[in-house]
Structure 1
Amino acid sequence: MNIQAASQHTPQPTPNVGQPVSRNNHANHELSIRVRDLNLWYGETQALKSLNIDIFQRNITALIGPSGCGKSTFLRCLNRMNDLIPSVRIKGLVEMDGRDVNAAKMDEVALRRRVGMVFQKPNPFPKSIYDNVVYAPRMHDLVSRKPEQDELVEKALRDAGLWEEVKDKLDQPGTSLSGGQQQRLCIARAIAVQPDVILMDEPTSALDPISTATIEDLMDRLKEKFTIITVTHNMQQAARVADYTAFFHLGEIIEYNDTKTMFANPATKKAEDYITGRYG
């Protein structure tokens, strides 16, 4: 995909709140997550400012923008990982299935089962490959008997594109794998609990080009089953893998668009300048 923006900037109609400027006609458009007027502060410093966005099921949505613009902070709002930071204060709506994930009655453990996360640096547990995958399903009582566990481990590793490489060494430590294999193991661990959404915070930034291509191919397959939201600083990666792209700047969403349109004909000058490398 050519990521050079059109030289002539063509304004597009203002979308409904939370809707992309244009829609990808080949993508699934069922709503997964609805965000309205989301604000977040670290102490007195406001990091997110009145965010509005609708994220669609079984699509890949990329979050792009300069460092420190709020992408990862927003990602962590979706499974309440920001709750672990004492100075954080949040206002606004993050809704899944008509329920506000920030509601006092929300079960955070159950939420994080539904909204899994893969981090920038692979972080396998200090356990065997087998136990890395089956640990969370056991904790959530998704499997009990050994045959069920074996079936789940194989399925998760197959879905993560790792089974053929590790099937004969499942008792070896997850940390013994290469960096790219470790990241796929972390993806297998995330999908083993059957989430609805997978959050990925720069999942390939620490990997070599071959491992990066493998993860990107995997993401394209996984979106048939899961909603994927990924943070990336790699414009080419966003262009390759994402159905939709949201451009963040200084804690705001400046533009939200289907990716092909975003890179070919952005609706805002700020997005065009970022995509074409005038700043970043």
Structure 2
Amino acid sequence: MNIQVAERSVSPMTGHQSKGEPAVGAPVTRNEEAHHELAIRVRDLNLWYGQAQALKSINLDVYQKNVTALIGPSGCGKSTFLRCLNRMNDLIPGVRIDGLVEMDGRDVNEAKMDEVALRRRVGMVFQKPNPFPKSIYENVAYAPRMHDLVSRKTDVDELVERALRDAGLWEEVKDKLHQPGTSLSGGQQQRLCIARAIAVQPDVILMDEPTSALDPISTATIEDLMDKLKQQFTIITVTHNMQQAARVADYTAFFHLGEVVEYNDTQAMFSNPHTKKAEDYITGRYG
């Protein structure tokens, strides 16, 4: 399996890394052309479903305005980890979590954290498109109104148009904004869900296999969109598609049995994995 990764300049290990070993949670190398401000800091994160431990001492730094891909075999903890970042796992009975998930110096799991406000800042796009049973317009306008981001109709109109333009959907739907969102094709519905997520101007967008239910043309459209959106937002995506990770991700974390085995600049990981497990998975020996 030959994975092609677009050329990017990759720096040697920097000051936050000790010689020979990366700092906990930090990639082995860094992309000098990317933004390096920290978006999310994860330390010693553990999660249990009842008695079964699904995540084991996860340490990860996610950088702003990059695409970070989470790869690994099914059941390795990728989606579970993703849901930890906006506390979606709170909705699952029997889940227990310890460790740190930090944004802006605050642990998102602290008792006084406003979960609704957190999920506004950390939006989510799911595997299958799930538009609301409302019009295209209302799908985008609903959350900004609920969060009191806009009130005047002219402001709502401008916000809806901007979000649909940013999601690459405006030209296709501008003449049918009051038709049901469910009337769109699968790829268009997924872009509508992306427009819905970005309408509240989050800091981070989580994408859980956003193209797995789409055809190749729609998949390419979503991938191009991710590349554009990272200029404004931090994107973390789960994917089983190695070629997709190579195409869209600045950084890649390889999960295996609830642990992060390797985390690196995507070009470095796909061209020269540091671990045998990552190499075997990337080259298709298992998974």
Cα drift, residue 165 of structure 1? 0.2
Residue matched to 1:210: 217
Describe how 1:36-115 pairs up with structure 2 within 5 A. 36-115=43-122
1:249 matched to 2:256:
yes
Paired AA for residue 31 in structure 2: N
Residue matched to 2:242: 235
| Aligned mates of 2:239, 2:269 — CA distance in 1 | 15
| Aligned mates of 2:131, 2:169 — CA distance in 1 | 14
Q: Identity percentage over the alignment?
A: 86
Structure 1 residue runs of 4 or more that deviate by more than 6 Å after TM superposition: none
1:3 matched to 2:3:
yes
Aligned residue pairs total 274
Cα drift, residue 14 of structure 1? 1.6
2:152 to 145, 162, 171: 145
Paired AA for residue 253 in structure 1: V
CA contact (8 A) 1:4 1:275 kept: no
| SS of match in other structure, 1:137 | helix
Moved more, 15-24 or 243-252: 15-24
CA contact (8 A) 2:4 2:243 kept: no
Cα drift, residue 23 of structure 1? 1.0
Residue matched to 1:273: 280
The two structures, once aligned, show a CA RMSD in angstroms of: 1.3
Cα drift, residue 68 of structure 1? 0.1
Residue matched to 1:177: 184
Structure 2 runs not aligned, ≥5 long = 6-18
| SS of match in other structure, 2:143 | helix
CA contact (8 A) 1:37 1:51 kept: yes
TM-score (norm 1): 0.96
TM-score (norm 2): 0.94
Moved more, 30-39 or 20-29: 20-29
Paired AA for residue 239 in structure 2: T
Residue matched to 2:207: 200
| Aligned mates of 1:23, 1:138 — CA distance in 2 | 39
CA contact (8 A) 2:4 2:246 kept: no
Residues 59-110 of structure 1: per-residue CA shift (max 9 Å, x gap): 0000000000000000000000000011100000000000000000000000
Q: Which has the higher contact order (CA 8 A, sep 6+)?
A: 1
Cα drift, residue 274 of structure 1? 0.3
| Aligned mates of 2:3, 2:35 — CA distance in 1 | 23
| Aligned mates of 2:82, 2:140 — CA distance in 1 | 23
Cα drift, residue 25 of structure 1? 1.6
| SS of match in other structure, 1:103 | coil
| Aligned mates of 1:275, 1:183 — CA distance in 2 | 27
| SS of match in other structure, 1:36 | strand
| SS of match in other structure, 1:225 | coil
Cα drift, residue 120 of structure 1? 0.2
CA contact (8 A) 1:76 1:82 kept: yes
Describe how 1:26-41 pairs up with structure 2 within 5 A. 26-41=33-48
Paired AA for residue 197 in structure 1: V
Residues 142-163 of structure 1: per-residue CA shift (max 9 Å, x gap): 0101000000000000000000
Cα drift, residue 205 of structure 1? 0.2
Paired AA for residue 194 in structure 1: Q
Cα drift, residue 13 of structure 1? 2.5
| Aligned mates of 1:105, 1:41 — CA distance in 2 | 22
| Aligned mates of 2:253, 2:31 — CA distance in 1 | 14
| Aligned mates of 2:135, 2:25 — CA distance in 1 | 43
Residue matched to 1:224: 231
1:187 to 163, 174, 194: 194
| Aligned mates of 2:227, 2:209 — CA distance in 1 | 16
| Aligned mates of 1:275, 1:145 — CA distance in 2 | 50
| Aligned mates of 1:145, 1:54 — CA distance in 2 | 39
CA contact (8 A) 1:13 1:21 kept: no
| Aligned mates of 1:275, 1:155 — CA distance in 2 | 38
Cα drift, residue 4 of structure 1? 7.3
